[in-house]
Structure 1
Amino acid sequence: MRRSLLAAAGLLLAAPLLASVGPAATAQSPQAPKADPAAPITLWAPSHVTAFAFRHRTWTDLGLRVIAHGAPFELWSQRPSYDDQIQTVWHSAAGDVPLPAGSMSDFSGLDRFLKITIDPKKRGEDTLTMTRKGCLNGYSERVDPNADPRSPYPVGCWYNAYSLGSVQGIQAGWATPVLSQSRPLRIGPGEYTVTATIRSRYAEIFGISPDEATRSLALTVTDERGGEAASVGRHRDLARPAAHRPTGPAGRADEGGPQPDLRSLPAWGISLNKKGTYLRFSATVWNAGDSPLVVDGFRRDGEDLMDAYQYFFDAAGNQTGYQPVGSMEWDPRPSHSHWHFEDFARYTLLDADQTQVAKSKKEAFCLANTDSVDLTVPAADWRPENTDLSTSCGDYSSLSIREVLVSGWGDTYSQYRAGQSFPIADLPNGTYYIAVTANPEHKLVESSTDNNQSLREIRISGSPQHRKVTVPQVGIVHEEGYGGQG
């Protein structure tokens, strides 16, 4: 299953001047508060927020923002291996400052970053107290008129269970939402007083005074039947593929220029169907190279088939050539209904001797940036949805499309997709490996093909009527924590 709603990807060349979106709740427009000059970030909140409840649950970010002062506020997080905890470093103006071990259990944000208390105004009711994770990447907005007109940082803490690195950042003079709306507040209609505090373990490291780390606001929650929550959308100008298929000799002007590097993560989300006859799985292929993978398709006249071409770019984003790389086909199945690029990846099941015993019917893909895998690689694109080169899976009437996988991001397909499984009814019990192989026919140009395959060990047991699958854990990774975006 796609774990994000990203529909655009490409080079960081033509980002909009502003990336400004307000909270789902109604709130005042933020203004930069008077801050301690030594504090790199401060917490901000409006005086009043209105939100809407449904079945005693309220979705709101409370209008809470973190504002960066003086210089960009930037955190880099990396996992040396799947056996190691995530290590996070604050790139401060005075030098790198490591955060305590355990500050991030996954790449969705800082653990236990905010303490929030909600006081009902009704007598006799208890105060609701909670701690929440903080993602410092959001749909940020400029609050200082002298600030840089563009923010380079990611929009959201996108991640995969097997991600390797991330970047969180706030541009100087910009504010970003810090509280995710993915988890509702367990409160119903009423009037409340909310107090939010950056917890001391972080405030002390970042040099934030208690006054700048705490904010209070009034919260009004109404039943959703009394009104509709504000809805603010993001409008993006998606780049179009080339107007026509390329002409002239194939190749590129700079053979040693930037190239993508496709790699595979371990298969995950592994299970059997109810009858125990099919092994289902999820798989991610990502780009660790210093260039996006850009594939344009051009429809053949009167056919449900497109000719595919890979385009090449230099470090400045200038196109330097192209190469035919196969074709794209229209997939009419309900869980797809879009154009698929063939020869992007292959899924096979290997026995204990690593000999192929089954092959997935999933052989074509719509490329999209669904998972942030490692935003610390050189040339990683931190904001793929705001760039000039865009991903589109198209519809049946499309004459041409562009599919893109940018540096640092992966494309995930989950087990509910048609063909995303292996038939195992006739296989004996034993040890097997799910092999995820990127660029199996080597039609795509990339910097290395030695790192294209990953193997995930599984064990099949049980009787023919009651098959079971056991999946040994990889390092310290807990797959059930996979969430897509923090």
Structure 2
Amino acid sequence: MLRRRAAALASVALVAALVGPSPARAVGAVLLPDLRQAPVGCAGGHTGDPSRCVDWDVCAVADPAGPNGPCVQAAPIGAVRLRFTTSVDNIGDGPLLVHGTRPSADQPRMTARQAFQSAVDRSIPMTYAAAQHAIPATLYYEPAPTHEHWHLLGFERFQLRTPSGDAVVTDRKTGFCLGDRYAVKEALANRPSDAATPEGELAAFLRKNRCGHHAPEALTVVQGISVGAGDDYTYKVDYQWLDISTVPSGVYDVVNVVNGDRTLVEKSYRNNASSMAVSIRWPGGATTPPTTITQPPEVRLLRNCPGAERCASPRG
């Protein structure tokens, strides 16, 4: 069965750029995924007003090198982080499915392929060799105690930008373990509805996918997101933040972009970005951060702009 074959493939992390023939010639008559960057700072599957989302905060930490230190209320403050939940929905015609492999644990790099569901017989290639689209990939095992699994690098990126689009801060996020973490709350024709179908069996696997948890020796990988499902990382997870310790007071965009380099073949790339506009104000009306931070800045959510890379206005 599909589920047993999938479970036999322990997950691993990968990243890089698309190679080979054009997507149209490479995939043929297949059902493509469509990755949609969900509103920044909203819980996965959120359907209300995104400007009222509360899955974000400002966290002052004592250790600027720690990926996820406790928030502190008083000095010493080593860094100030703007934390936010990020989510990606698959609203396409077929699942996102990525395979990776390496010949031995001595070789840190592996080959990866994106697999596609057939539009003709609805089959899903669950072996590495059958996955159609080659991706050169880099293996990454996240050893942090809160992770200890394989990550897909470069899947999603975060930036703090000025209203004119200039990047002020770039993320330190290492990667993502993809799976079906929540349901997208809208009608989609190809959402799996029968557990006995290939897409139903794949969805059952992806709901439990832990990406080779505690398995640094893994040689193979399966990661992905079913149609009608999404993958989210909450704002309290490691590296779900941008460091604003040196950012001057002003108005900025927090921008999230999925599949920004178009490594993965999709039905559409028009919905791969979302942003939220924030106001950052340092205490006492200061225009620049103090040399020694004793109090974090006030950060206000001005508006949320799903589907857009720009949200902020210079006037706030």
TM bucket (normalised to shorter chain) is 0.5 to 0.7
Bigger mean CA deviation after superposition, 353-362 or 326-335 = 326-335
Alpha-carbon distance in structure 2 between the residues aligned to 1:295 and 1:379: 19
Q: Residue in 2 aligned with 1:347?
A: 158
Residues 429 and 460, structure 1, Cα contact 8 Å, conserved in 2? yes
Q: Residue in 1 aligned with 2:267?
A: 447
Deviations for 1:366-391, whole angstroms, at most 9, x for unmatched residues?
A: 10111212441221235789514633
The equivalences for 1:189-338 within 5 A come to: 239-241=7-9, 255-268=28-41, 269-274=55-60, 275=77, 277-301=80-104, 302-315=106-119, 316-319=122-125, 321-325=131-135, 326-338=137-149
Distance 1:470 1:377, change over 3 A: same
Residues 155 and 176, structure 2, Cα contact 8 Å, conserved in 1? yes
Residues 113 and 131, structure 2, Cα contact 8 Å, conserved in 1? no
Bigger mean CA deviation after superposition, 384-393 or 411-420 = 384-393
Residues 275 and 304, structure 2, Cα contact 8 Å, conserved in 1? no
Following superposition, the deviation at residue 412 of structure 1 comes to 0.4
Alpha-carbon distance in structure 2 between the residues aligned to 1:401 and 1:265: 25
Following superposition, the deviation at residue 420 of structure 1 comes to 1.4
Residues 291 and 313, structure 1, Cα contact 8 Å, conserved in 2? yes
Q: Which runs of 5+ in 2 are unaligned?
A: 11-19, 42-54, 61-76, 284-288, 290-294, 306-316
The equivalences for 1:370-389 within 5 A come to: 370-382=181-193, 387-388=201-202
Q: Residue in 2 aligned with 1:422?
A: 242
Alpha-carbon distance in structure 1 between the residues aligned to 2:304 and 2:244: 23
Following superposition, the deviation at residue 339 of structure 1 comes to 0.4
Residues 29 and 118, structure 2, Cα contact 8 Å, conserved in 1? no
Amino acid at match of 1:303: Q
Alpha-carbon distance in structure 2 between the residues aligned to 1:351 and 1:290: 35
Secondary structure of 1:263 counterpart: strand
Residues 180 and 230, structure 2, Cα contact 8 Å, conserved in 1? yes
Q: Residue in 1 aligned with 2:71?
A: none
Amino acid at match of 1:297: G
Q: Which has the higher contact order (CA 8 A, sep 6+)?
A: 2
Distance 1:253 1:473, change over 3 A: closer
Residues 279 and 299, structure 2, Cα contact 8 Å, conserved in 1? yes
Amino acid at match of 2:111: D
From 144, 162, 173, give the equivalent of 1:362: 173
Q: Which has the higher strand share?
A: 1
Q: Which runs of 5+ in 1 are unaligned?
A: 1-12, 16-235, 243-248, 476-486
Amino acid at match of 1:262: L
Alpha-carbon distance in structure 2 between the residues aligned to 1:388 and 1:279: 35
Alpha-carbon distance in structure 2 between the residues aligned to 1:327 and 1:336: 18
Distance 1:253 1:266, change over 3 A: closer
Alpha-carbon distance in structure 1 between the residues aligned to 2:139 and 2:194: 26
Distance 1:328 1:373, change over 3 A: farther
Distance 1:433 1:289, change over 3 A: same
Deviations for 1:89-114, whole angstroms, at most 9, x for unmatched residues?
A: xxxxxxxxxxxxxxxxxxxxxxxxxx
Alpha-carbon distance in structure 2 between the residues aligned to 1:351 and 1:292: 35
- Aligned-residue CA RMSD (Å): 2.9
Q: Residue in 2 aligned with 1:174?
A: none
Following superposition, the deviation at residue 466 of structure 1 comes to 3.4
Residues 295 and 404, structure 1, Cα contact 8 Å, conserved in 2? yes
1:471 aligned to 2:301? yes
Normalised TM-score (structure 2)? 0.67
The equivalences for 1:4-23 within 5 A come to: none
Residues 264 and 437, structure 1, Cα contact 8 Å, conserved in 2? yes
Q: Residue in 2 aligned with 1:396?
A: 216
Alpha-carbon distance in structure 1 between the residues aligned to 2:223 and 2:300: 36
- Higher Cα Rg: structure 1 or 2? 1
Q: Percent identity?
A: 28
Normalised TM-score (structure 1)? 0.45
Following superposition, the deviation at residue 256 of structure 1 comes to 4.5
Aligned residues: 237
Deviations for 1:411-431, whole angstroms, at most 9, x for unmatched residues?
A: 101122222111111111111
Following superposition, the deviation at residue 291 of structure 1 comes to 0.5
